[in-house]
Amino acid sequence: MAHYLDNLAGRVVVLGLSGGVDSAVAAILLKDAGATVHALHMTNWDDDDGYCTAAADLQDARAVCERLDIPLHHVNFAREYRERVFEHFLGEYRRGRTPNPDVLCNREIKFGEFRRHAARLGGELLATGHYARTATIDGEPALLKAVDAGKDQSYFLHAVAADALAQTVFPLGDLRKTDVRRLAHEHGLPVHDKKDSTGICFIGERPFREFLSRFVTAEPGPIRTPDGREVGTHAGLVHYTPGQRQGLAIGGRRDARDAPWYVVGKDVPNNVLIVDQGDSPLLYSDTLLAEDATWIGAAPAGLADGLRLCAKVRYRQPDQACTVLGTGGGRVRVRFDAPQRAVAPGQYVVFYDGERCLGGATIAETRRVPGEPPDRHHALSA
């Protein structure tokens, strides 16, 4: 059992119960640790259009609570989600960027509104089914990677406030997904073989382009090569992101070589999508500028002079060695040792010191690597 579950006997823990297998097993572990567990199911999206699984998830949460004899509470944060997460999500797309709403959802809803509601229920601590760990380092709350590197979710938790982490338990932090499935099956949970959710609720399994077009005007325009040749028409810049290959509808051309086309940039003011073929050098950057940096606790010492850390520019990417320089006003400049492929403005760069997640920032722009494409062994983008 994880060491942070050792002192939970008799304490009231409010668990975010989604209706999936991860949070259900978290409930088992909390009960085994002697905690008094209350489950809280959140509804964050209330459009019943057949794609969002919120209603089915609530029924699954009820079935789990009946099986484990845990009281279930239900709260609707749909208004708060739209105001604090979804509007930002749409705003980023209108700017031509590629947002990640899960980070804001964690900070504003799951560890913001949820935390306040849990306190009203008498909760001393809150818990979720995230794959991550907490610790106290030099007297301060810290966020650590999960043991299961393939499921680690610290990337999405980097903006959660330190005081919220100090009151949070992540029961799955020391487990692997295979262990979680096994425990669920052994305890006869009705969700033991439930498929993992992917993406975010309001999109569900629907076609993303169709959904986004309901909220953001998509103006078609030209697709051009870096030297200005027009090779097609795009359906609206909001539908494309750096490194994208699918959906370009550029057929075989006599004036082009036989190699796949990729999005390498956007000219937003002129509504032009820029593409190139093959492993274009325009796909790579070795420096990025990021804004709105958030740190778990105080900003790390030495940031103003340049700090050697590791970073990820996308979920599940291997750690990338870099130098991080604070430039004031919540802005940072990140210079990577190895060029990075298809870095997308609007996504997050998240910083690590070994197993410890320090915080992150929103990618604002990138700087290209001049010359030929780097060797693939030195440009990790997994």
Tell me whether residue 201 is one of the annotated catalytic residues.
yes
Q: Specify the 3-state DSSP secondary structure of 363.
A: strand
Q: Which two tokens stand for residue 51?
A: 């794609």
Query: Of 52, 65, 201, 357, which one is the catalytic site residue?
Result: 201
Give me the catalytic one of 65, 105, 322, 357.
105
Element (H, E) at 68: helix 54-68
| Residues 73, 76, 77: CA angle, nearest 5 degrees | 125
Up-side HSE of residue 165: CA atoms within 13 Å toward CB? 26
The dihedral sign for the CA sequence 339, 340, 343, 347:
negative
**Which residues have CB under 8 Å from 207's CB, separation 6+?**
none
Residue 236 in tokens? 């609206």
Cβ neighbours, 10 Å, residue 37: 26
Side chain identity at 137, as an amino acid letter? I
Q: Dihedral angle at the C-alpha atoms of 15, 19, 22, 28, nearest 10 degrees?
A: 60
Question: Do residues 142 and 101 make contact, with C-beta atoms less than 8 angstroms apart?
Answer: no
Strand bridging mode 331-341 / 348-353: unpaired
**Residues 29 and 5: beta-carbon distance below 8 Å:** yes
The DSSP bridge pattern shows strands 221-224 and 272-277 to be: parallel
DSSP letter for 85, please.
I
Give the integer Cα–Cα distance in Å for 200 and 196: 12
Contact 27, 15 (CB under 8 A): yes
Helices (H), 205-352: 208-212
Whether the CA torsion 189, 49, 130, 112 is positive or negative: it is: negative
Please tell me the chain's helix, strand, coil percentages from 3-state DSSP, rounded to the nearest 5.
25, 30, 45
Residues with a catalytic annotation lie at: 105, 201
